Amino acid sequence: MRTPTRFGRNCKRLVSAARGRGLSPGPCDELSHPGPGGSAGLCARLALLVLLLGAVSACALLPAPPSTGAGIGGPSREELAARLKERADYWNSYQASLRIRAESSKAKNRFQAVVVARPPEKLRLEASNPFGQVVAALILAPGRASLWTPSEKTLFTASDAQTLMKYFLGGSVPPDLFEYALAACIPPDLLDDRLRVASTATGWMAYNRDSRKNLDFALGLSLDPISLRSITVKGDREDYSIQYDPPARLDRVSNTPEKVVFSSSEWRMEITVQRMEKSPVVQESVFTAPSPPEGARVLDVDGIR
């Protein structure tokens, strides 16, 4: 009796594998004892067949590719709008303690500030020196804006609140966006059906346009958890960004941002949020400009721009 060669033993294993898969090996059953002729060729073809069957079986066991749904890929427009709308509703009235550093080509300022805000139209920002003395009070309300500086006994006024904000803080930001952005919120009128969500090379983004002000908005988003990284604003005369460091989490409406940076090519305003809390009841008198004392100056900023 002939002794099976190593090649023959390998063929036997292949034959057994073929039988286990319901194949009829036929002539190759004799390949454990190769003889003359095309035995090696038949065995090679059988080996290839078994390997192919094994590859098909392995592919069937591979996990399915990850879903590209909102839960893994990114938020849907409806989900994002609902989260941001809920957040804006929650922070519709708040108080905050801030540390502000403002820089522009004209001035550099650092101060502590206490803010009372009722977006989108009402804001009171009191700036104080390291000794706790109020050095300026910025008050914004519909149709009127004022800045009172006790040390100079001067009341600055403007018909456009954005003008006075630029005069005092150095940055030209619409008051409503400033009030919302401090709390990592988006003006609700930007959360309509025109809001678009898309994946880009830098991450997930959302886009909309304020046709009344001719401004384009782009929101930078992070996932896991969903967070607001940035807001970019562009228009005919506007080009600035708002960055959150770290990204402001949107998974809970009560979460507050830590650092907010407003910046453009001409100015920068870095705001550290030390404390922020919802304030359901705010007296209307908080947003009323003080009556200047006797001897105080009143300057119209609209006339000196």
How much is the pLDDT for 167? Answer: 80
What are 61-86's pLDDT values in tens digits?
333 333 333 435 789 999 999 999 99
For domain 79-303, give the CATH number.
2.50.20.10
**125 CB-near residues (< 8 Å, 6+ apart):** 113, 114, 115, 137, 138, 139
- pLDDT of 12 higher than 70: no
What are 229-264's pLDDT values in tens digits?
999 999 988 899 999 999 999 988 999 999 999 999
What are 152-193's pLDDT values in tens digits?
999 999 888 888 888 888 888 889 999 999 999 999 999 999
For the chain, domain boundaries: 6-56, 79-303
How much is the pLDDT for 45? Answer: 54
More confident residue, 41 or 145: 145
- pLDDT of 7 higher than 80: no
How much is the pLDDT for 15? Answer: 41
pTM of the shown model? 0.73
